[in-house]
Amino acid sequence: MSQKEDQHYIDAIINGDTRAFSVLVERYKHMVFTLAAKVLKNHEEAEEVAQDVFIKAYTALASFKGESKFSTWLYKIAYYRSLDYLKKHKRTVNTGSIDSDTEYHLTSMEDALDGLEDKERKQTIKAAINELPHDDAVVITLHYFEELSLKEIADIMNIEPNTVKVRLFRSRKRLAVLLKNKLEPEILANYGRK
């Protein structure tokens, strides 16, 4: 979505048109909700935090100077609000340890995924992402889905671009391992057929 278009609505809101905000909410609600869900691993809480993010953005809109994209600014609020929520409720999300040295074979994983029904395939991938530590899941979503640059992700998460790169490399492997574990029965079945 172009920054220019966003700016048009932002100006309208600052000039008192509350309804213009609904356009921005519609535009970004999925991504904001997804980011919150990746951190909190719980849909009800993510819903609450995501609403809170938009309200916070609304009240702070005048302080948005357009130095970054509106979306990046919004995602930053979403990321930090979600972390705050975890901290406030003293919740730690257990993701278990993932052995990233595990061997996996991409072709057989692709075959196994292709063998699944659409819905099941989506669920399997989502379940695997859900088992990632929250920072890994956020990095992966921002990079692969939203296709943000390392610099933009670094800005959102307040870390160095190089750290993003390292984290991305590590989370990619972890996700592959998690997916492999989820797909194990299908992979074995496929071998049997060959």
Partner 1 sequence: MEENKELDDFIRKSIKEAGLEKPAVDFTDAVLSKIRVANQNDSLLVAKPLLSKTTWFLTFAAVAAIFGYVLFSDSTTESTWLAAVKLNKLTSFNLSLNFPELSFSAAFIYGSIAIALFVWLQVFILKQRLDKRYVAS
User: 61 vs 159, which CB is nearer to partner 1?
Assistant: 61
| Interface ranges with partner 1 (CB under 8 A) | 18-19, 21-22, 25-26, 29-31, 33-34, 37, 43, 46-47, 50-51, 54-55, 58-59, 106, 109-110, 113, 121-122, 125-126, 129, 140-141, 144-145, 172-173, 175-176, 179
**H runs (alpha helix) in 43-160:** 43-60, 70-88, 106-114, 118-130, 134-140, 150-157
Give CA torsion, residues 87, 88, 89, 94, to 10 deg. Answer: -10
Q: How far is the CB of 106 from partner 1 (least distance, A)?
A: 5
Closer residue to partner 1 (CB): 67 or 156: 156
* Overall size of the chain counted in residues: 194
Other beta carbons within 10 Å of 22? 12
Tokens 């920054």 identify what position? 3
Shortest distance (Å) from residue 86 CB to partner 1: 15
CA distance 168 to 91: 25
Residue 192 C-beta: closest distance to partner 1, Å: 23
Q: Report the residue number, 8 or 126, with the smaller CB distance to partner 1.
A: 126
Q: Smallest distance from the beta carbon of 163 to partner 1, in angstroms?
A: 18
CA–CA gap between residue 35 and residue 79 (Å, rounded): 7
Q: CA angle 99-85-23, nearest 5°? A: 105
Residue whose CB is less far from partner 1, 114 or 160 = 114
Q: Which is nearer to partner 1, 16 or 67 (CB)?
A: 16
- Closest separation in Å from C-beta 79 to partner 1: 15
Helix and strand counts by DSSP (H, E) for the chain: 9, 0
Instruction: Give min distance, CB of 94 to partner 1, in A.
Output: 20
